[in-house]
Amino acid sequence: MGLTLGVAWRIVNQEPWNCAGTPMAQSVLIVDDEPNIIMALEFLVRQAGYEVRSVADGEAALQAMAERAPDLVLLDVMMPKRDGFDVCQTIRANPGWKSTRIIMLTARGRDIDREKGLALGADDYITKPFSTREVVDLVKRMLGPVG
């Protein structure tokens, strides 16, 4: 049993496909050091039909990206090890991760912080406190319908 050209392309491009050769759900990586925020977002994003992974710091975020790039990252700015601005800039510098969407989540609501996040490549910037349902609605708008 040989590989078809389509399956080989999917393997090389690290697209998540199941054993039947059909695409798996789009994936979201949640990066935040607040367990309550992770728990709420994980529940709602998973309930919306997306595959979810979560990590609590910038270094772990980049490790998770290297293992398998998600379709979208929900990225806190103020975290241990590497802040969200640095993680965002690192993601955008990697050609293999260019298509990953980034939504920054932060308590830093000043215009200059928002401008910095967007300039570094974030697709959107949401300040805390935020409605977790609104965040999930934004995820749905960015990634499109599931399945």
Please report the domains of the chain, with CATH numbers, ordered by start residue.
22-139 (3.40.50.2300)
Residue among 124, 67, 128, 126 at smallest CA distance from 97: 67
The size of the chain, in residues, is 147
3-state SS of the chain: helix, strand, coil percent to 5? 45, 20, 35
pLDDT digits (tens, 9 = 90+) for 96-131: 999 999 999 988 778 888 899 999 999 999 988 889
pTM: 0.82
